[in-house]
Structure 1
Amino acid sequence: MSETMPEAPAGAATAPEGAEPPEAAEGAFQAPQEPEPHPLGVVRTPTGNADVDAALERLADADELPTEGHVEVYEDAHGQLRGALEELDRRPGPPPPGPAAAAAPAPGPYRG
């Protein structure tokens, strides 16, 4: 028995010296390789909003990246879309009705 390596139990199969380890043997299980990135062919229709269209174009970048790069693209596009929504909230809307609108007479039947 060696001090660095214990002996194999009696009857255990051992590889001959110089043989390839079992994981490198032909036909041994190997983890599947991730396929090369390729475009999905999703058609992006312009929305008419430049900020939203830019975010959608940013999503197209994920087509050329391996899977682990998708998160960064999705987070970036999400941030752009949030910014576009926040910008809509900042735009002034029509003025609120004032006292003059409440004092105006309601339209009635035509008397001509």
Structure 2
Amino acid sequence: MPEPETDAPPEPAEPAGPAPLGVVRAPTGDPGVDALLERLADADHLSADGHGEVYEDVHRGLRETLSALDAGPAPAPVPAPMPSYNHRS
């Protein structure tokens, strides 16, 4: 016997939880950059409203890394002059 039709809306399905996107991150060879890229995996376990914080954190870290490259290495310290001794005989 078929079910009687009703005007009631269907019951909402259980909300789906966050699901990993499965994006493969290839190592860059720079440990700092690789750690930042791995941080993106944290977004896989958050709802969409939590992604922004992760993305901003990674973006800030990558920007700092690039800025450090633009600045170049710190100049070597200039050695202090050696005192001169005048010995009179």
Q: Name the TM tier (shorter chain).
A: 0.5 to 0.7
Distance change >3 Å, CA 59–CA 90, structure 1 → 2: same
Higher relative contact order (CA 8 A, sep 6+): 2
Partner of 1:88: 69
Partner of 2:18: 37
Distance change >3 Å, CA 85–CA 34, structure 1 → 2: farther
Partner of 2:9: 27
For residues 100-111 of structure 1, the aligned pairs below 5 Å read none
Q: What percentage of residue pairs aligned between the two structures are identical? A: 54
CA deviation vs aligned residue, 1:32-69 (integer Å, no higher than 9, x gap): 87531011111111001122111101111000000000
Q: CA deviation at 1:81?
A: 0.4
Q: Which entry has the higher C-alpha Rg, 1 or 2?
A: 1
Gaps of 5+ in 2: 1-6, 74-89
Distance in 1 separating the partners of 2:15 and 2:61: 29
Corresponding residue pairs, total: 67
Distance change >3 Å, CA 37–CA 46, structure 1 → 2: same
Q: TM-score, normalised by structure 1?
A: 0.52
Distance in 1 separating the partners of 2:51 and 2:14: 17
Distance in 2 separating the partners of 1:38 and 1:59: 13
RMSD: 2.3
Q: TM-score, normalised by structure 2?
A: 0.64
CA deviation vs aligned residue, 1:49-102 (integer Å, no higher than 9, x gap): 12211110111100000000000000000001001101111223xxxxxxxxxx
Give the ranges of 4+ consecutive aligned residues of structure 1 lying more than 2 Å apart after TM superposition. 32-35
